[in-house]
Amino acid sequence: MRFWSAVWAIFWKDVRAEFRTKDILTGMLVFAILAVLVFNFAFDLRVERPQTVIPGVMWVAIIFASMLGLNRSFILEQDRGSLAGILLAPVDRSAIYLGKVLGNLVFMFAVEVILLPIMVVLFNVNVLMPSVLLFVGLGTVGFAVVGTIFSAIAVNTRAREVMLPVLLLPVMVPVVIAAVKGTAGILDGNPLSEQMGALRLLIAFDVIFLGIAFLTFDYVLEE
Amino acid sequence: MQNKKWGWLELLTVLAAIMVAVNFYVGLIYAPDPSNLQTEVTRKAQHIFYYHMGMNVMAGLGMLVNFIGSVLYLLTRRRFWDAVARSAAEIGVLFGIGVLVSGSLWARPTWNTWWTWDPRLTTATITILLYAAYLMLRNAVEDPDRQARFAAVYGTFAFISVPITFMSIRLWRTIHPTVFGGGDPAAKGAFALGPHIRFAMQFSSWTFMLVFLLFLVVRVRVALLEERVMALRQQVDAQLSRGAEVDPMEHAGS
Amino acid sequence: MVYLTAAMIAIWLLTFGYVFYLIQRTKSLEQEIRALETLVKEAEKGR
Q: Which domain holds residue A107?
A: 2-220
| Amino acid at site A145 | V
* Least confident interval from A97-101, A146-150, A193-197, B231-235: A193-197
Mean pLDDT, residues A128-139 = 92
The alpha-carbon gap from C2 to the nearest alpha carbon of chain B, in Å, equals 8
Predicted confidence at residue B215, as pLDDT, reads 93
How is residue B36 annotated by DSSP?
T
Rounded Cα distance between A71 and A78, Å, is 11
Predicted confidence at residue B147, as pLDDT, reads 93
Residue A150 has pLDDT above 50, yes or no: yes
Q: Which long-range contacts (CB under 8 A, 24 or more apart) does A73-82 make?
A: A73/A14, A73/A100, A73/A103, A73/A104, A73/A148, A73/A151, A74/A100, A74/A151, A74/A152, A74/A154, A74/A155, A75/A155, A75/A160, A75/A161, A76/A17, A77/A155, A78/A155, A78/A156
Q: What is the pLDDT of residues B35-50, one digit of tens each?
A: 677 677 777 778 888 8
Instruction: Give C43's contacts in chain B (Cβ within 8 Å).
Output: 236, 239-240, 243
Mean pLDDT, residues B151-179 = 80
B148 band by pLDDT with thresholds 50, 70 and 90? very high
Q: Estimate the crossing angle of helix B144-168 against helix B119-139, to 10 degrees.
A: 170
Predicted confidence at residue B10, as pLDDT, reads 84
CB pairs under 8 A between B and C: 84
Residues of chain C with pLDDT under 70: 46-47
Predicted confidence at residue B47, as pLDDT, reads 82
pTM: 0.87
Measuring CA to CA, which residue among B117, B121, B118, B73 is closest to residue B101? B121
Domains and CATH numbers, chain B: 14-230 (1.20.120)
Give chain C's contact residues with B (Cβ, < 8 Å): 1, 3-4, 6-8, 10-11, 14-15, 18-19, 22, 25-26, 29-30, 32-33, 36-37, 39-40, 43-44, 46
Task: Give the 3-state secondary structure percentages of chain B, helix then strand then coil, rounded to 5.
Answer: 80, 0, 20
> Do the Cβ atoms of B61 and B209 come closer than 8 Å?
yes
Instruction: Give C46's contacts in chain B (Cβ within 8 Å).
Output: 243
The alpha-carbon gap from B225 to the nearest alpha carbon of chain C, in Å, equals 6
C18/B215 CB distance under 8 A: yes
Q: What is the pLDDT of residues B90-140, one digit of tens each?
A: 999 999 999 999 888 888 888 888 888 777 888 889 999 999 999 999 999
Distances (CA, A) of B231 to A81, A223, B144, B237, C37: 31, 21, 11, 10, 11
How is residue B169 annotated by DSSP?
G
How is residue B143 annotated by DSSP?
S
Q: Which residues contact A40 (CB under 8 A, 6 or more apart)?
A: none
Residue B1 has pLDDT above 80, yes or no: no
Residue A47 has pLDDT above 80, yes or no: no
Predicted confidence at residue B254, as pLDDT, reads 40
Strand, coil or helix: what is B77?
A: coil
Instruction: Give C14's contacts in chain B (Cβ within 8 Å).
Output: 94-95, 97-98, 101
Q: What is the pLDDT of residues B59-103, one digit of tens each?
A: 999 999 999 999 999 999 999 999 999 999 999 999 999 999 988
Residue B3 has pLDDT above 60, yes or no: no
Could you give the count of Cα atoms lying within 13 Å of A143 in the half-sphere of its Cβ? 32
Rounded Cα distance between B125 and B110, Å, is 20
Instruction: Please give the residue that has the higher pLDDT: either B184 or A129.
Output: A129
State how many domains chain A has.
Answer: 1
